[in-house]
A = this chain, B = another copy of it.
Amino acid sequence: MWKRCLGWRLFFLGVVSLGPLAHAADEPARLSDFIRPLVGTQGEGNTYPGPSAPFGMVQLSPDTDKELWETASGYEYSDKSIIGFSLTHLSGTGIPDLGDFLFMPQIGKPKLVSGTKDKPAAGYRSRYSHDNEAASAGYYKVKLDRSDVTVELTAGERAGMMRMTFPKSDYASILTDLHHVLNGGKWKVVWSRVRVEDNSTITGFHLVNGWAKERPIYFAARYSRPFDRAEIYNDGKLVKYNTYRFRSSLEAAGAYMQFLVYYHTRQNEAITVKVAVSAVSAANALKNLDAEIPGWDFQQVRDATRDKWDRELAKLQIEGSKKEKETFYTALYHLMLAPNLYEDVTGEYRGLDQNIHLADGFTNYAVFSLWDTYRATHPLFTLIQPKRDADMINSMLAHYDQSVDHLLPVWSLQANETWCMVGYHAVPVIVDAYLKGVPGFDAARAYEAIRTTAMNPNYDSVATYAKLGWVPFDKENESVSKTLEYAYDDYCVAQMAKALGKADDYAYFMKRAASYKNLFDPSVGLMRGKDSHGNWRTPFKPHVYEEDSIGTRDFTEGTSWQYSWYVPQDVPGLISLMGGRDKFVARLDSLFTFQPPKESADTGETQGSIGEYWHGNEPAHHVIYLYSYAGQPWKAAERLREVVATQYGNKPNSLSGNDDCGQMSAWYIFTCLGFYPVCPGSGYYVIGAPQVKSATMQLANGKTFTMTAKNLSEKNLYVQSVQLNGRDLDQPFLLHDAVKNGGTLAFTMGPKPGEWGTKPVLPQ
C-alpha cells in the first residue's frame, strides 16, 4: 500500500530455521506468549508495539515520531526516544493517522512541547532503551530514562490502562496532549476540548483533519489517585481567570489544548490512568470506560486480553520451532489487529455521513484497507473469523447506505472515505464470503450494493471503462491497474449474479471481466496503457514506475512488468495471451531475476525485492502462485520458501513491507498452510508449498481442518504428493468446499521437484 519514496531499503534479515520441529523445553505453554508485537516496528512494517485486544477499538502504544510519513504507526524501533503514549493506532498502513490523545509522565517543571529526536530534552520526549522495554499480547512496558518513570500499558476493547510507576517526587505530572496526532507532517488538529469532570476524571475531544478528512474523536480518563492539581493549557498558555471576564479553569476549547495533572509521589508509587475513546461523544467515552474497566486491576485487564488472544490463536495452531511459532502467531496477531471495532457499548457509532447511528443487529467495524485485505486477509477471515467477517460486511453495507456517492468502501477510515488506492474491492470480500456461505448478512441487499458500486457514474472512470472496455490513460491516472482490477472485481460481481440467478448481470459483468484483454499488447507481451482513441501509451517503459514528476502513471504502485500478472479471474486466459505456458513461465522467471533500470529504482515500492518482484507491496502477492497454474509448482515452492525465509520472522525488522492491516501477514499464514486464495470469489485456493510441519484450523462449524507436511525441512521444500482426506490430489488447486467441511490435507515433501501438479486443470 501507498508509501512515499524511500529509496532502497532491503530487509533480508530474518531466516526461518527449519530445525527440530518438536516443542522445545523452554517454550511457553500459552499460544499468546508467542506473540511478538515488536515484529514489523523497524523499517517498513509500520506495526505498533502497544497492546490491543483482537480487532479492538483502542491501541495504546508509544509514539516515537509524529511527523514522518514513514512512521505511520507512530513507532519506529530505531528511534531512541519516546514522545508519549497515545490511545489509537493503525496497524501497518503506509499513511499515518490516529495517535489520538497522548499521555506522558514527567518529573520536574513539565514541558509542553514534544522536543525533537535530536534534542529530546527540549520537550517532554524521553530517551529509552530496548533493554527496558517489553511487549507481549495485551501488554507493553518501558522505562523512561528522563523521568525514571516506568509506564505499562494494557488494553481492552474500547478502554485501556496506563500504569505509571513514579520515583519519589514533589513535582510529578502527567501531560495529556490533545494536539498530538500522527500527522505525517501534513495533518492537523482543527479543534479540541478538555474538561475536568472531577478531581480524578477528565474528558476531551479533538477534531482531526487527517488522512481521514474530518474525524472527531472523544476520550475519557480516570486517575487512580485524585490529582493534587490540574491545569489546562490553550496554545501553551495556562487557562486561568484574569479577574476581568470570568473563564472556567475546568474546561476549555481551542485548536491547541493540553492538560496537566500534578502529584507528589512516593518512591515507586504507581498511578494508573484508565482511558477510553468514543467517536460519538465524551459521555459515551465515559460509558465505554466504566462498562469495560469498572475497577483498577491492571493485571485483570491484561489477563483478559491475553485470554482473548489465546482463544483467537487457538483457531489456527501450528507445529514448529519457537521462532516459527513466534513468526506465525505474530502474523495471526497482526492479522487480527484490523479492521477495528467502531461502536460504543451503547451500540452507537459515527457513520460515513457523520451522523450517529445505532448498529442494529450487527457489530460495526472500521478501518478497511480493502485494496490490500481483499486478497488474503478477508479470505482467511471466512475460515477463522466468519462471524466477524459478516459483521465487517454489514459495516460495509452500512457505509454504502450512508455514502452520498452510493459506493461501498474503498479505503474507509473511521467515518471517512480516504479514496486510497483503486478498484472496488469490497466486492470480492462480499462475494467471496457469500459464495463460501458465510452467514449473517443479507445477500439481496449486498448484491444491490455491489452492483450499484460497479455501475457508479462518477468514480474513477468506471463508466468509461464499462463503455470502452478499458480505462483510457488520457482520462484517468493509473489506467491499466484500474482496468485490471475492475475486471477482476467484475468477475466477482458476475459470480454472485450467477449464484442469484441473474443471468443478464452475469453475462454483462463477465464481459467486463474480460476487459483485461483490451490492454494486453501482444507486440510487447505485457499490459500497456491505451488512450480513449485506442492508441497505446508511447513511448512504453515497462519497468518505469511513474511517467513524470507529478505522478502520472498507468500503474498503481508498480510497473507494467509487475502488473501484467494481474488477471486472477482468468490465469489460463493470461497464459494464452502470453503465448502459452512455456513463454509465460519464462517471463515469470525473469521477473525474479530482472534488475530494474535505475530510473525505476527510487520509488519506495521496492521493499522485498527479488529482481523486480516486490513482495513488500500487494500487487506481488498472488504472483508466485501463478507457477502452479503453469504446471511448474516447484518454482513456486522455491520462491515461496525464499520469501518466507527472508521477508518474515520474529524480529522488529522482519517485515519487508507495510503489514497493511494484516495482508502481509495473511499472505504468510496461507503460504505456511500450503495454499493461497489467488482469486477470492472463485471458490478455490492455489496450492503452493507448505512452510510449517503441521497446522490445525478450528472452523466455526465445529469441524477441524488439518494440514500436515511430511518430511518438510530446509531442503525438503518440494511437494511430492498431496492427499486430501486420504485420497490423492493431483491438481494444485484446493476447493473451499473441501476445507470448510473439515478434513486433512497431507503433503509429502522432498528435496527435488516431482511430477506432482505438473498437469494443472483449473476447477470449473
Q: Is A195 within 8 A of B247, CB to CB?
A: no
Taken together as a complex, chains A and B put the C-alpha atoms of A281 and B354 apart, in Å, by 8
Q: 0/1 per residue, A354-397, Cβ < 8 Å to B?
A: 11100000000000000000000000000000000000000000
Interface-side segment among A8-16, A248-256, A319-327:
A248-256
* Total chain A interface residues with beta-carbon distance under 8 A: 45
CA distance A254 to B188 in the complex (A): 12
- In chain A between 236 and 262, which residues have their CB closer than 8 angstroms to a CB of chain B? 241, 243-251, 253-255
Task: Please tell me if A702 contacts chain B, counting CB pairs below 8 Å.
Answer: no
Chain B, Cβ-Cβ closest to A193: B214
Q: Are B243 and A477 closer than 8 Å at their CB atoms? A: yes
- The minimal Cβ–Cβ distance linking A28 to chain B, given in whole angstroms, is 45
Which residues of chain B come closer than 8 Å to A250, judged between CB atoms?
404-405
Given contacts A247-B419, A251-B404, A283-B353, contact A214 B191 (CB under 8 A): yes
Which residues of chain A in 208-254 are interfacial with respect to chain B, using CB atoms and an 8 Å cutoff? 209, 213-214, 241, 243-251, 253-254
Minimal Cβ-Cβ distance residue in B for A249: B458
Copies of this chain assembled into the complex: 2
Shortest distance between the CB of A680 and any CB in chain B (Å): 23
CA distance A193 to B196 in the complex (A): 29
Write the A277-290 contact mask toward B (1 if CB under 8 angstroms, else 0): 00001110000000
Given contacts A250-B404, A404-B248, A459-B246, contact A282 B353 (CB under 8 A): yes
Beta-carbon nearest neighbor of A203 in chain B: B353
Which residues of B are found within 8 Å of A405, using beta-carbon distances? 248, 250-251
Is there an interface contact between A355 and B404, defined as CB atoms closer than 8 Å?
no
- Nearest Cβ in chain B — how far from A139, in angstroms? 33
Residues in B with CB closer than 8 Å to A248 are: 404-405, 417, 419, 458
Give the docked Cα–Cα distance between A417 and B476 (Å). Answer: 51
User: Does chain B have a CB within 8 A of A197?
Assistant: yes
Give the CA-CA distance A517 to B213 in the complex, in Å. Answer: 59
CB contact list, A256-305 vs B, under 8 A: 281-283
Contacts of A241 in B (CB 8 A): 458, 460
A551 contacts partner chain B, Cβ-Cβ < 8 Å: yes
23 contacting pairs across A/B (C-beta < 8 A): A190-B191, A190-B255, A191-B191, A191-B209, A191-B214, A193-B214, A195-B404, A205-B354, A213-B253, A214-B253, A241-B458, A245-B420, A246-B419, A246-B459, A246-B460, A248-B417, A248-B419, A249-B458, A250-B405, A281-B356, A282-B354, A283-B353, A283-B355
Besides A195-B404, A248-B405, A248-B417, 18 more A-B contacts (Cβ < 8 Å) are A190-B190, A190-B191, A191-B207, A196-B404, A205-B354, A209-B253, A209-B254, A241-B458, A244-B477, A246-B410, A248-B419, A249-B458, A250-B404, A251-B405, A282-B353, A282-B355, A283-B353, A283-B355
Binding site for B on A (CB under 8 A): 190-191, 193, 195-197, 205, 207, 209, 213-214, 241, 243-251, 253-255, 281-283, 353-356, 404-405, 410, 417, 419-420, 458-461, 475-477, 551
